Chains A and B, each alone.
Chain A
Amino acid sequence: MNLQWSEEQQLLRDMVRRFVAGEYGFEQRQKFIASAHGFSREIWAALAELGLMLLSFSEADGGMAGGGLEASIVAEAFGQGLVAEPYLASAVKASTALAAAPAGGMREQWIADLQSGEKIAAFVDAPELDFADGLTGEAICVAAADIADFLIVAASKAGAPVLLALGAGAVQRDGYKLHGGGTAADIRFEHNPALVLAEGAAAAEILLQVRAAGEAFLIAEALGAAQAGFELTVEYLKTRVQFGKPLGANQALQHRASEMFVELEQLRSAALYAAVMRDTDERELAVAAAKYVALKAMRFIGQQIVQLHGGIGVTQEYAAGHYFMRLTAIAAQLGTPEAASAAIAAKGGFTSPAPYWESAA
C-alpha cells in the first residue's frame, strides 16, 4: 500500500494550504464569521476558481474526478484554517448526490452552477420525510440550508428511498449561525414540489455514498484542526515562561503533549482509512470504525489544547479555544464512540461461545 501522496495530490495539498494560510488567517476568519451570512462570498468564489468545486464530479460531468483522498486533502487544510465556508454541504454532500444521480433534466445545469461557485446547495438527510403530493415535514439544523440556492433531499416515497431536488427559495427556512463557525437552518416543507433525481435502490445507494463522504470529510477536517491546535499548543509550551522556565520543561506537560501526539497519529490513520474506504462497498463498517477511533482522539486533543493553554484557551480572541470548539462540534456531529461501536457490532460477525462463568453452576 502506497502511503505517499501522488504528484497531483501533493499539488492540490500545497495549493489549498497556501490559499488558506494566505487568505484565511484567524482575524480574517473572525470577520467572515461575524458577517451577515456567516461566510465570505469572495472566499467562496476564490475556492471555485481554484477548481475545488470540481472534485466530486466525474470528467464526463466536467469535474476532476477526485476521490476520498482528494476530499480529505481539502478537508484537512480547511480544518487547519478553521474554514467556515459551506464546502462540505455544497461541494461534497450535495455534489456527491448530484454526481451519482442519473443524467437528465436539470441535473447538468445544477452541476454547472455548483462547479462555477455561482450557486450553493445544501443536503437534507431526512428519510423520515414523506414525498407524496409534494414534500412535507420538518428538518432541523441542516448545514448551509440558510444560504443555499437549492436543496438535495434524501426522503421517502411510499416507503421507499427517493432523492429529490428543489429550489430553496420556495421553502420556509429559519437560519442561524452555529457555534464555532458555519450556519444552518430549520426547514419546514409543505407540499413543496420537487424533482426526482433517483428512486428505490439507486437512491438508497446514493444516500450511503453521501453519508460516508460527509463523515470522512469531517474526520479529515478534525485532523487538520487537531494538527494545527496541537502545533499551537506545543509552541505555547515552548514559549510561555512561568516559574522561570518554559512550561514545556515540566515533565507532566511533556507527557500530556506526547499523549496528544499519539492521539493525533491515531486520528491521522482514521482519516486516511475513512478517505480510502468511503467509495467502496465496505464503507459503512469502515467509516464506523474510523469514527470510533477518531472521536476519542479528537475529544482528547480538543480538551488538552484548552488545558495546556490555561486561561487563554477559553477566550474568543485566541485561536486555541476555537480549535477546541471546532473539534467538539465535529465530534457532536459524528455521534458517540458507543454508537459507532454499536454500528460495527450490528454488522455482525462477532459472536462467540458464552463465557465459561455463565454456564450452570
Chain B
Amino acid sequence: MNEQQMLLADSAGKCFESLGAKTAFAEGWRQVEALGLNLLLIAEANGGFGGSWDDALIVLRLAGANALALPVAEAILAASLAPAGTQGFGSIATKTSGSLRGGVFSGGLIGVPWGRHADYVVAAIDGALVLLGKPEAVAEAKNLADEPRDRLTYEHAPVTALAAAPLLELAALARTGQMAGAIGAALQRSVTYVNERQQFGRPLAKFQAVQQTLASFAAEAAAADCAAQSAAQAMQRGHASFEIACAKLRANMAAGIATATAHQMHGAIGFTLEYDLHPLTRRLWSWRSEYGNDHFWALRLGDGIAARGAANFWSDLTASEVV
C-alpha cells in the first residue's frame, strides 16, 4: 500500500469499526458521505476521490471485515456510473421485471440493496444501463444477513441513459472484495478463539487437528484475498470479465469452507446472537449467491473457455493485455 492508501485504510477502517453491524442508515450514511467514500471511484476533476479499483478494494474489504450494515459497495458503484454531480445515495439493480420503452420504465427492480433509502438507482434493464429516480412503491425485504434487499416499483418513470458498463460484473467484483474481507475477519476470530479457549486442560490451538483445519481455512482466505486483488488489478487495466468470473467463483468456494470451519471452530457459541461471528457468516452465505452463485460463474467461464477452445486456454490465462 502507498501512503495515500494507508490513510484511506485507516480512516475507513476506524469508521467502519465504530459503525459495525448495528447501524441506523441515516447516521451511518452521513459518516460515509463525510469521508467522501461514496465518491471513491469518481475523478478528482468531478469532485471525487480519484481512486482506482485497488483503492476501492481496500474499502470493500474493510466493509466486509467489519460486517458493515451500510451499502458502501453499492454507493461507490452507483456514483461511479451515474452522471457527474448526481446527489444523494444511489443503489444498483441487476434483476428487473417489466419493460423499458421510449425512455420510460414500467416494472420492478428486485433485490435492490437498501432500495428503501435510495435517491437514485443505476439499473441494467433489457441490456441497457439506465438511471432511475425514486420509485412509486417500495416492498421491503431482507437477505439472510438482515441486509435490505427491496423491491422497487416504477410506473412510467423516465430514465436517463448511461454509458454502457458491465453492472453485474462490477457488482460481483465488489462482493468479492467484501467476501475476502469477511473471510479474513472470520479467520482472525477463529484464530483468537482457539488460542484462548481451553478444553482438556489446554488451549484448542494445541490440538493438531485444530491446527490442520485452521491451516486449510487460512489457505482459502488467502485464495479469496488474492483473487479479489487480482480481479481489481485487471479491472483497473480496463477489462476483467474473465478475472471477475474467476474471482467471484473462487471467493464463493472459499466462503463455503470458511463459514463451515469458523462455526466448527467456535462450537456452540458461534451460533449465538451475542457472539459476533454470525454477522460475518450470514453475510458470506448471502453474498455467495448474489451477483452470481458458483454454478452461474462456472458455467459462464466454461462456455467462454470452450468457445475459445482448449488450445487457447493457456494463452488466454496468461494474457496480461486486454483480450
Name A's B-contacting residues (CB within 8 A). Answer: 250-252, 255, 361
Residue of B nearest to A249 (CB): B208
Minimal beta-carbon separation of A256 from chain B (angstroms): 10
Q: Kindly list chain B residues whose C-beta atoms are within 8 Å of the C-beta of A251.
A: 207-209
Whole-angstrom CA separation of A252 from B110 in the bound complex: 47
Q: Kindly list chain A residues whose C-beta atoms are within 8 Å of the C-beta of B211.
A: 252
Residue of B nearest to A361 (CB): B110
Name B's A-contacting residues (CB within 8 A). Answer: 97, 108, 110, 151, 207-209, 211-212
Tell me whether A361 and B97 are in contact (CB under 8 A).
Answer: yes
Whole-angstrom CA separation of A252 from B211 in the bound complex: 9
**The residue from B108, B151, B208 contacting A250, defined by CB atoms under 8 A apart:** B208
Residue of B nearest to A250 (CB): B208
Whole-angstrom CA separation of A334 from B209 in the bound complex: 33
For this complex, 13 residue pairs linking A to B, each with C-beta atoms less than 8 Å apart, are A250-B208, A251-B207, A251-B208, A251-B209, A252-B208, A252-B209, A252-B211, A252-B212, A255-B209, A361-B97, A361-B108, A361-B110, A361-B151
Q: Kindly list chain B residues whose C-beta atoms are within 8 Å of the C-beta of A361.
A: 97, 108, 110, 151
A252-B208, A252-B211 are known; give 11 further A-B pairs, CB within 8 A.
Answer: A250-B208, A251-B207, A251-B208, A251-B209, A252-B209, A252-B212, A255-B209, A361-B97, A361-B108, A361-B110, A361-B151
Whole-angstrom CA separation of A255 from B97 in the bound complex: 52
For the complex of A and B, the 6 pairs showing the least CB-CB separation, nearest first, are: A251-B208, A252-B208, A252-B212, A255-B209, A251-B209, A252-B209
Residue of A nearest to B151 (CB): A361
Q: Kindly list chain B residues whose C-beta atoms are within 8 Å of the C-beta of A252.
A: 208-209, 211-212
Q: Kindly list chain B residues whose C-beta atoms are within 8 Å of the C-beta of A250.
A: 208
Whole-angstrom CA separation of A51 from B211 in the bound complex: 54
Whole-angstrom CA separation of A12 from B260 in the bound complex: 47
Residue of B nearest to A251 (CB): B208
Whole-angstrom CA separation of A361 from B151 in the bound complex: 9
Residue of A nearest to B206 (CB): A251
Q: Kindly list chain A residues whose C-beta atoms are within 8 Å of the C-beta of B151.
A: 361
Q: Kindly list chain A residues whose C-beta atoms are within 8 Å of the C-beta of B208.
A: 250-252
Whole-angstrom CA separation of A319 from B31 in the bound complex: 68
Whole-angstrom CA separation of A361 from B211 in the bound complex: 45
Whole-angstrom CA separation of A252 from B210 in the bound complex: 9
Residue of A nearest to B111 (CB): A361
Whole-angstrom CA separation of A255 from B213 in the bound complex: 12
Whole-angstrom CA separation of A251 from B209 in the bound complex: 6
Whole-angstrom CA separation of A250 from B108 in the bound complex: 59
Whole-angstrom CA separation of A80 from B108 in the bound complex: 65
Minimal beta-carbon separation of A253 from chain B (angstroms): 9
Residue of B nearest to A255 (CB): B209
Whole-angstrom CA separation of A247 from B206 in the bound complex: 18
Residue of A nearest to B211 (CB): A252
Minimal beta-carbon separation of A358 from chain B (angstroms): 14
Residue of B nearest to A253 (CB): B208
Q: Kindly list chain A residues whose C-beta atoms are within 8 Å of the C-beta of B110.
A: 361
Q: Kindly list chain A residues whose C-beta atoms are within 8 Å of the C-beta of B108.
A: 361
Minimal beta-carbon separation of B143 from chain A (angstroms): 12
Minimal beta-carbon separation of B50 from chain A (angstroms): 39
Minimal beta-carbon separation of A238 from chain B (angstroms): 17
Minimal beta-carbon separation of B109 from chain A (angstroms): 11
Minimal beta-carbon separation of B260 from chain A (angstroms): 16
Minimal beta-carbon separation of A51 from chain B (angstroms): 49
Whole-angstrom CA separation of A251 from B212 in the bound complex: 10
Whole-angstrom CA separation of A150 from B169 in the bound complex: 63
Residue of A nearest to B97 (CB): A361
Minimal beta-carbon separation of B144 from chain A (angstroms): 12
Q: Kindly list chain A residues whose C-beta atoms are within 8 Å of the C-beta of B209.
A: 251-252, 255
Minimal beta-carbon separation of B169 from chain A (angstroms): 23
Minimal beta-carbon separation of B138 from chain A (angstroms): 14
Whole-angstrom CA separation of A255 from B208 in the bound complex: 10
Minimal beta-carbon separation of A356 from chain B (angstroms): 13
Whole-angstrom CA separation of A250 from B207 in the bound complex: 10
Whole-angstrom CA separation of A361 from B111 in the bound complex: 10
Whole-angstrom CA separation of A255 from B209 in the bound complex: 8
Whole-angstrom CA separation of A255 from B207 in the bound complex: 11
Minimal beta-carbon separation of B89 from chain A (angstroms): 24
Residue of A nearest to B207 (CB): A251
Minimal beta-carbon separation of A307 from chain B (angstroms): 13
Minimal beta-carbon separation of B243 from chain A (angstroms): 30
Greatest chain A CB density within 10 A among B97, B110, B151, B212 is at B212
Q: Kindly list chain A residues whose C-beta atoms are within 8 Å of the C-beta of B212.
A: 252
Whole-angstrom CA separation of A312 from B247 in the bound complex: 38
Whole-angstrom CA separation of A7 from B109 in the bound complex: 72
Q: Kindly list chain B residues whose C-beta atoms are within 8 Å of the C-beta of A255.
A: 209
Whole-angstrom CA separation of A252 from B214 in the bound complex: 12
Minimal beta-carbon separation of B254 from chain A (angstroms): 22
Residue of A nearest to B141 (CB): A361
Whole-angstrom CA separation of A251 from B193 in the bound complex: 20
Minimal beta-carbon separation of A257 from chain B (angstroms): 12
Whole-angstrom CA separation of A252 from B207 in the bound complex: 9
Whole-angstrom CA separation of A91 from B298 in the bound complex: 47
